[in-house]
């Protein structure tokens, strides 16, 4: 009765064992040469500048970029079920996916026009 679930259980077991092995063995096999450059903060190849103590403020652009990535990423994920079942959906599925792609393209064009993709 549980035989159909055995590959999933095996996959999760192997993933857990690999993760546990990697975390356990890393301190013993990794290099232990620490220096200031290695322990310093690194962000996108830009030297971090000293900031005042207290809550650090990030420009809103970082959050907007992250939110745009999440929105478009999730929208594109919805294309996978269509790719799997496109023949079973027929003409109705084709019309719906075209409407979906047009909606995504309109949102993309709006964001592009408003400058949401500029890295100034």
| Stated pTM of the model | 0.47
In a domain, 47, yes or no: no
Report the mean per-residue pLDDT for the chain: 82
Maximum C-alpha span of the chain: 62
In a domain, 74, yes or no: yes
CB-based contacts of 82, cutoff 8 Å, min separation 6: 89, 93, 97
In a domain, 88, yes or no: yes
For residue 12, is pLDDT > 90? yes
Domain total in the chain: 1
Percentage of residues in the chain with pLDDT exceeding 90? 21
| Dihedrals phi, psi of 46, to nearest 5 degrees | -105, 135
In a domain, 25, yes or no: no
Q: Which residue did the predictor score with more confidence, 34 or 55?
A: 34
For residue 119, is pLDDT > 80? no
Structural domain for 68, as ranges? 52-113
| Dihedrals phi, psi of 43, to nearest 5 degrees | -145, 105
User: Lowest mean pLDDT: which of 7-11, 43-47, 99-103?
Assistant: 43-47
In a domain, 62, yes or no: yes
């Amino acid at each position: 009765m549980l035989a159909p679930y055995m590959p999933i259980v095996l996959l999760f077991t192997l993933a857990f064992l690999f993760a546990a092995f990697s975390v356990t063995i890393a301190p013993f096999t990794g290099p232990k040469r620490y220096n200031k450059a290695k322990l310093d903060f690194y962000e996108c190849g830009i030297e971090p500048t000293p900031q005042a103590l207290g809550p650090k403020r990030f420009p809103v652009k970082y959050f907007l970029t992250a939110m745009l990535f999440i929105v478009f990423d999730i929208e594109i994920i919805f294309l996978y079920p269509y790719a799997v079942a496109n023949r079973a959906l027929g003409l109705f599925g084709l019309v719906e996916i075209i409407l979906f792609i047009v909606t995504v393209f309109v949102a993309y064009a709006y964001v592009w026009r408003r400058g949401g993709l500029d890295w100034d």
